Structure 1
Amino acid sequence: MPVQRVELGDGRTWTVVGPDYLPVVPVEEFLEFLSVGRDASPHTLRSYAASLSAWWEYLEAAGLAWDEVTLPSFLPFLTVLRTGDPVGVSLPRRHPELTTAQ
C-alpha cells in the first residue's frame, strides 16, 4: 500500500492509501491522532505511515482483519519483516555455522 504525502495549507502530513486510492481509515485515524494529539512532526508521521503500510499489506496478503489479530497471527509478520519474504513464502536459508570451510 502506498504512502502518500498530503500537502495542507499549514504544512505536510502523510497517509496510507488502499487499492481504492482512498486513505485506509484506521491508519488515517491513528496518524491524525499522532499529528493533532501528540503534535508529531511530519518526519515521524512519514515513518509511522511507512510502517503501517507494511503492516496493512501483510494483513491484506494474510487475509486478516486489523481488529482480529492475535499473537499467533502476528508472529508471521515479524518473519516477513526479518526475511523480506512475501507472506506464505519460505525460502531455504543458508546457515553459515552449518557450512564447511573449503
Structure 2
Amino acid sequence: MDSPFVAVARAADVPSGGFVKVEVAGRAFLVAHVGEHWYAVEDLCSHEDFPLSYGCLEGERVKCSLHGSRFDLKTGRPLEEPADTPIATYRVAVAGDLVLLDPTAPTNAH
C-alpha cells in the first residue's frame, strides 16, 4: 500500500517560528514549525478565501492579514472574529530532513 505522505519541503528551510507555503496537486497548504511541533493547514482563511500565507505566526496560531482572524494551528478552530468556521488541518511529519504532508483528508473533518 502506498503512503499518502508527500515530501513538501526540507526541514532546514522552515525554522522554528516560521512557515512555508507548499502546493500539492494544485492545492495550497501552509506548513508551520513551532518549537518541537509541526503543523499543516489549508492556506485559505475561512472568512474571505484569502491566503493565510500572507499572514504571520503568533505562537501556535496563524493570523490572516486581511481582517485579522486568528486560527489554532492544531485544531483549525478560529480564535477570533470575523472568521467563525475552522480551517482544515492535515497530518505532517518529519523524516530525516524532509517535511512530509498527507493531503488526502483533513484531520479535523467531522
Higher relative contact order at CA 8 Å, sep ≥6: structure 1 or structure 2? 2
More strand by percentage: 2
When the two structures are superposed, what TM-score results if normalisation uses the length of structure 1?
Answer: 0.30
When the two structures are superposed, what TM-score results if normalisation uses the length of structure 2?
Answer: 0.28
More helix by percentage: 1
